[in-house]
Amino acid sequence: MSILTGHKDNLETKRVSEEAAHNTLKRIVYSPARNWDTHVMRVFTMGDGGRTYEHEHAWPHWVFVLEGKGAVTIAGERVALERGSYVHVPGGIRHFFENVQGGGAEFEFMCIVPKEGDMF
């Protein structure tokens, strides 16, 4: 394994497909191709009105909020999120994330999933 350093702003940025999320960008920090064999660490940036669509899957999420204000709805319960917040979403539970700020402000969070969870 080699040493890997860098800055988020220099990572490749991909728009998440509209089938998965609205107005959301993704950067991959670590993955099986980038020094973490079993998991993927992603940084999501949601613009104004950004959100994922309600979904569920077998794997968990570990999330840490980097900037802005948003919310996660897990099994119908909405939880406010802001810079410094963290949340664990267990596998098999319906959930979605959203930017709740408006005014052009971004909501940015780090999300770690097992490698099979990085589908989009």
Q: What is the CATH number of the domain that holds 32?
A: 2.60.120.10
Q: Is residue 8 part of a domain?
A: no
Report the 10 Å Cβ neighbour count for 49. 14
**Domain extent at residue 74:** 13-117
| Antiparallel, parallel or unpaired: β 69-74 and 77-82 | antiparallel
How many angstroms separate the CA atoms of 56 and 47, rounded? 23
DSSP string, 96-115: EEEE---TT--EEEEEEEEG
Confidence (pTM)? 0.94
Q: Is residue 5 part of a domain?
A: no
How many angstroms separate the CA atoms of 48 and 98, rounded? 9
Residue 120 pLDDT > 80: no
pLDDT, one tens digit per residue, over 73-116 is: 999 999 999 999 999 999 999 999 999 998 999 999 999 999 99
Q: Is residue 64 part of a domain?
A: yes
User: How many domains would you assign to the chain?
Assistant: 1
Q: Is residue 71 part of a domain?
A: yes
* Residues 108, 75, 91: CA angle, nearest 5 degrees: 75
